[in-house]
Amino acid sequence: MGVEQAKSGFQQRTNENQTAYIQGESEERGWASRLLENSLLYAEVKEGEILPPTIQRLMKGYNKYLRPFFDNGPVTVGMSLDIASIDTISEINMDYTATIFLRQRWTDERLVFEGNKSLSLDGRLVELLWVPDTFIVDSKKSFLHDITVENRLIRIFPNGTVLYALRITTTVACNMDLTKYPMDKQTCTLQLESWGYNINDVMFYWTRGNESVSGLDTLQLAQYTVEDHYTSVSEAVYETGHYPRLVFHFELKRSILYFILETYVPSSLLVVLSWVSFWISLSSVPARICIGVTTVLTMTTLMMGARTSLPNANCFIKAIDVYLGICFSFIFGALIEYAVAHFCTLTHPDAHMLMYGHQMHDMDDEMNGIVTTISTHSNRAKRRKEPAITSTPAPASAELTVSPSSPSGSEPKPEVTPPEPTNWCLTALATLRKILRFISCCHIENPHHIDNYSRVTFPLSFVIVNLLYWTYYLYF
């Protein structure tokens, strides 16, 4: 009996110890679970920081991984932009870099609280809330400013409306048509879209229409002016569904004054400088060659410098390339003009005397006129004396009287006009000979006339081409 009682007492004490151990272990587990729950609830809060009671009540049971109105239709997100600056616009990379303030508004029924004042929270507390997964379409590189802290704003209103603002610098692609560069206009866009929520979950809208974007009126750009801007709402269609998208369009017009002073005026002056050679004698070979070669090389350098700021691998010809090509053609044409004129001079060894030929011919005509007048007066005087001379026998010396205009002692004979050719073959040959003489530079009678014609044709042609160029690219 004593042994059995001892065994039963030992067994009873063992059971009591096990029960106490189990109860203690359950209490420890409960305390650990409560500690883990609290650590998960305030995981985003730094150690030593305590949330206000209002925020604690709002965060109790809040799941940031579920969107508002999860089972009651899509949540509407209103957006507005403030363009702080447009830093660069690159034609080479076809993009622009801008700093913007992006503001998003939506209503979360789980954040409704009593009161009439909004709660402005630290931006770091945004990690405790659900926020839209908005991203910038066509963005090449973006970052959120974090000096001195992350530039984020979070504000909660009593009715559950949440205001979330960010300061972002982004580089966005912009497809440009440089056909009329530098007289071009470019239309760039800034597109905001939801990454994972389709139109059944989230809807985007501009809060104030076209006035939702501000800051462009006071924006100062280096080479552009903002002519127009507007907003639109659309949907992005992908294989995974339809997603909400907001688009901001802005039109940029390039300022042409810089290019006029940098490219157009120097190239036009080089063309005018090449015309100076038309007033230099054909015999001054070094002077004319020096002007021609110098202007050609300078124009080539100017053309290469104008292309450094533009994309090389493009499939279209720009307006500035057309103008530089026109100027280069006129400069090169002036150099070719001297080569042709000099070659024609070499084919005419006495060409330097031809310029005086017409003057000498005019002087000969004047002298012949004077001699003819003197001869006419002498003949009239002789006719008056003929009646008196016929009454007496004429001396032998009278027969030898020589007229001043007739050194050979004979009267001037009237010129005999040769009969016009009646053979049509001779006429055709003469016409063909004239055509060949006009076409072939080797048959130019006076090479100095080439410079005389060039002094008129080159400037006149350049003015006409300029009128056509500027009319087309400015008005068409």
Q: Which of 8-12, 222-226, 255-259, 357-361 has the lowest mean pLDDT?
A: 357-361
Q: Does the pLDDT value for residue 369 go beyond 70?
A: no
Higher-pLDDT residue of 362 and 50 is: 50
Lowest-confidence pick of 208-217, 282-291, 341-350: 341-350
> Does position 382 have pLDDT exceeding 70, yes or no?
no
Query: pLDDT per residue over 69-101, tens digit each?
Result: 988 889 999 999 999 999 999 988 899 999 999
**Beta carbons within 10 angstroms of residue 190's beta carbon:** 25
Asked whether the predicted pLDDT for residue 191 surpasses 70, the reply is yes
Query: What are the pLDDT digits (tens) for 306-350?
Result: 877 676 655 678 999 999 999 999 999 999 999 988 888 877 655
H-helix or E-strand spanning residue 17: helix 2-41
Kind plus residue range of the DSSP H or E element containing 227: strand 224-238
Above 60 in pLDDT, residue 408? no
What pLDDT was estimated at residue 295? Answer: 95
| Residue 124 to residue 44: CA distance in whole angstroms | 8
- Strand, coil or helix: what is 75? strand
Q: Which residues contact 164 (CB under 8 A, 6 or more apart)?
A: 103, 104, 105, 126, 131, 132, 152, 153, 154
Contact predicate 102/135, CB 8 Å: no
pLDDT in tens, 98-154: 999 999 999 999 999 888 888 888 888 888 899 999 999 999 999 999 988 999 999
**Sequence-ordered strand ranges (E) for 110-223:** 119-121, 134-137, 139-144, 152-156, 161-173, 185-194, 202-206, 213-214
Judged against a pLDDT cut of 60, whether residue 388 lies above it is answered with: no
What is the pLDDT, as a whole number, of residue 8?
Answer: 54
pLDDT computed for residue 410 by the predictor? 44
Average pLDDT, the chain: 79
pLDDT of residue 426: 79
Contact 186, 252 (CB under 8 A): yes
Predicted local distance difference test score (pLDDT) of residue 100: 96
Q: Where do we find the tokens 């026109």?
A: 326
Read off the pTM: 0.68
Rounded Cα distance, 103 and 343, in Å = 76
Q: What is the mean pLDDT of residues 404-429?
A: 55
d(CA 181, CA 223): 12
Give, to the nearest 10 degrees, the angle between helix 285-307 and helix 265-274. Answer: 160
Residue 457's pLDDT band, with cuts at 50, 70 and 90, is: very high
| Distance (Å, whole) CA 267 – CA 327 | 6
CA distances from 249 to 18, 22, 177, 353, 423 (A): 75, 69, 16, 72, 80
| Contact present, 418 and 391 (Cβ < 8 Å) | no
- Cis amide bond preceding 189, omega within 30: no
